[in-house]
Amino acid sequence: MSDELKEALEKVFAADSALYQDRGFQRRVGFGERPALINIDLANAWTRPGHAFSCEGMDVIIPSVQQLLAASRAKRIPVVYTTTAYAVTEGPNTDMGLWHRKIPAELLKLGSDAVAIDDRIAPEADEQVIVKKRASAFHGTPLAGFLRAAQVDTVIVTGVTMAACVRNTVEDAIAEGFRPIVVREAVGDRVAGVVAWNLFDIDAKFGDVEPLDRVLSYLDGLELRNAL
């Protein structure tokens, strides 16, 4: 993001923060006691260059997620990944719905390398990888049921894209009764300004945006999770 755009956004956010605070917004949902780490669409089509879906900022996002994975695994909290993929990309039986009328969803073929999780942050054998068809990780998936069975009350969210799949997941998380925590350094998008604006807006209305260091400190302070 250019310095000019950053300065302009900071001015807008300062004015909007004053309005929100005056009206009682920007409250804190806070950390709960039983978190899960949810990594949204950190598959090759988004994390590697040369794809229609490629996002910026992976030099910061990937190391941040690596640290969160290490901290989460050390405390044995649930770790979930999502990818977006389609089994049928042609004909009347397509599972793309109408989304392909807006984005090149036909490029996200189930089983292809494009939709495989980036091997720099590869899931371990016992970690969930949920294949979704829509933006939210909750829409049409078993995620909410899985989290409730694990007695999760907080979802720590990373991934892409900030304006779509991350945002939709956060909005559905709080609607489903989970405390959403978005890790500032661990989310991204492909358009300048989109990340900053959506982080600001989510922090005002749907979840808490927290820096990586604070989230790592929270995880470090948890007791070791016993298996259910």
d(CA 40, CA 55): 13
Q: Which of 157, 165, 183, 215 is labelled catalytic? A: 165
Place of tokens 């979704």: 132
d(CA 11, CA 223): 41
55 part of the active site: no
CA contacts within 13 A on the Cβ side of 1: 19
DSSP-derived 3-state class of residue 177: coil
Place of tokens 């991204």: 188
**Positive or negative: CA dihedral 10, 59, 71, 35:** positive
d(CA 221, CA 223): 7
Which two structure tokens, joined as six digits, stand for 202? 């989510």
Question: What's the length of the chain?
Answer: 228
Alpha helix locations (H) across the chain?
A: 3-22, 44-47, 58-74, 143-149, 167-175, 194-205, 212-220
Peptide bond into 47 cis (omega under 30): no
Place of tokens 């694990």: 150
Place of tokens 């770790």: 79
Catalytic positions: 165
